[in-house]
């Protein structure tokens, strides 16, 4: 069983959203159908990055890191080659 830390890109405002989940495909669907209150006005989304973790603690730790200034810089460097 894996837990996923993920980054979505809003196609409406071009901003990113970072989160974690156990079921990545279902969570993306929830974001895109407006079932997540924090993102329902920024739909639609595309998945631009994810990492698989073996424990929920690791996934939470990675989510928190990716939300920091250092984490955002890391993501920017990872995604720049894909024009995301």
**pLDDT confidence of residue 82:** 78
**Rounded mean pLDDT, 43-48:** 97
**Residue 10 near residue 29 (C-beta atoms within 8 A):** no
pLDDT given for residue 52 in this prediction: 98
Q: Is domain 3-82 in CATH 3.40.50, yes or no?
A: no
pLDDT in tens, 1-15: 999 999 999 999 999
Q: What is the 3-state secondary structure (H, E, C) of 23-57?
A: CHHHHHHHHHCCCCCCCCCCCCEEEEEEEEECCHH
pLDDT at 43: 97
pLDDT of residue 83: 73
CB 37 within 8 A of CB 8: no
Are β-strands 45-53 and 16-21 bridged in parallel, bridged antiparallel, or unpaired? unpaired
Confidence of residue 84 (pLDDT cuts 50, 70, 90): low
């Amino acid at each position: 069983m894996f837990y996923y830390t993920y980054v979505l890109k809003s196609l409406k405002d071009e901003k990113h959203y970072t989160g974690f989940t156990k079921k990545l495909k279902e969570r993306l669907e929830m974001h895109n159908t407006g079932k997540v209150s924090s993102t329902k006005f920024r739909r639609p989304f595309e998945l631009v990055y994810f990492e698989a973790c073996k424990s929920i603690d690791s996934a939470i730790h990675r989510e928190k890191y990716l939300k920091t200034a250092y984490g955002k810089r890391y993501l920017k460097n990872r995604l720049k080659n894909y024009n995301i």
